[in-house]
Amino acid sequence: MELLNGEIYGAVNSLNQLFEKDWPIGVSLGLAKLLGKLNPTHEAIEKVRAGLVAKNVPEGAREIKQGDENWDKFMEEYFELMTQKADQIVFEKVNIPSKVNGETVVVNPKIMSSLEKFINVVDGE
């Protein structure tokens, strides 16, 4: 499946949050395998992103913020990084049940929005 760096970057952060929930063994294993495949690319993206921040952060500051002198340049480079196609990663989508132990699984929509290419929500347990 074709993925952009930004999709991987957002998905790994969301998958890590999902990974902290209590899941049946098969779901936990599926999430662990998926994270294992995405993490090397995520680490490379993070290394480049951190370099962009360091290069553009105003002297004496810890982070770059909108309105800073180099903000536009940073955002242009950040957009370029996140819209590049990632190397091919072969993975299986993880099936996440809509219920676990009779309880409906509730996940923040912000987390779910970045996982469309990586998980399926399936009815039942």
SS3 105: coil
User: From CA 39, how far away is CA 70, in angstroms rounded?
Assistant: 29
Query: Do 64 and 70 form a contact (C-beta atoms < 8 A)?
Result: yes
The per-residue pLDDT for range 30-62, each reduced to its tens digit, is 999 999 999 999 999 999 999 999 999 988 888
Number of domains composing the chain: 1
Give the pLDDT confidence of 57-99 residue by residue, as tens digits: 988 888 899 999 899 999 999 999 999 999 999 999 999 999 8
**pLDDT at position 87:** 92
What pLDDT shows up at residue 102? 87
Query: What residue numbers bound the domain in which 29 lies?
Result: 5-122
